[in-house]
Structure 1
Amino acid sequence: MPDMTTDENVSRFVERFAAELTEAGMQRMAARVFAALLASESGSMTSAELSERLRISPAAVSGAVRYLAQVDMISRERDPGSRRERYVLHNELWYETFTRRDQLLTRWEKVLREGARTLGEDTSAGARAAETAEFFEFLQQEMLGMMDRWRTHRAARDAAGE
């Protein structure tokens, strides 16, 4: 079995995961920066470290971290005793991401319900809008249950010392 701590294997993982994120719709450079942060031992890196690790320009790093910060996937912190910024993955990143998605679904559901009334609930367009709103409502309920199960699973895992 290959030693997964080697730089080459880590780089392969970063590029593979970044490609998956890009395929799912994330900006390519942001996906690479995110994957590099995820693969770093500390979950944080400076712009210079990201630039060197990914072999990209500081401008490319800047654009990527700006996007990732805007969508709340990372935060910026000052290196102690330095003017350099360090980019840090959020704790419970995926939980927070799905929670924000849940808020988005709530807004979409509200607009769709209003749209169904505006279009006329007895019309085909109104019925489609109403069914889409119902789907988002269902998705939210399922997601809330899933997040609760995740917290329970994680607490049990942590209590077991895994």
Structure 2
Amino acid sequence: MTGKTHIIGGLVACQAADLFLFSTTSGFSYYAAGVAGALLPDICHTHSKIGRRFSVLSKVVATLFGHRTFTHSLLFLVAVNLVFLAFFPEHVAIQRGILIGMISHYFLDALTVRGIRFFYPADVRVRLTRMRTGGVGETFLLVGLVVCIGYLFVAF
């Protein structure tokens, strides 16, 4: 998926979680963290939005792991969560936002032809559909996600 789809997907996931799971109104930092989390797994791709911003780190991660492996895995999700628990335990809203954004990223990339290696280092790909990144299917999905944002905002 492209960066814009991940951003909107992260926002929708955070909005839905905020409404249906947490039953509290979260602030700007929660949603900003959701966007950051939605982009974070693509640090392994040097041409991604986050990869271009942090080019040196992106090149190192891409060299060590390749694309859609470690940073698209349950292992990485747990590692990020542990870092937050150890170093930023008081920032619960930011931790939740980042984790929800990452989960939305995983789900969206699992819809693509390449899928993700969610159980890395095991060489098993999780692939839910065979949508092409940047294709017509992604465009329809993006429009649907934008409609979801509007619906959740107005309805709740």
| TM-score in terms of structure 2 length | 0.27
| TM-score in terms of structure 1 length | 0.26
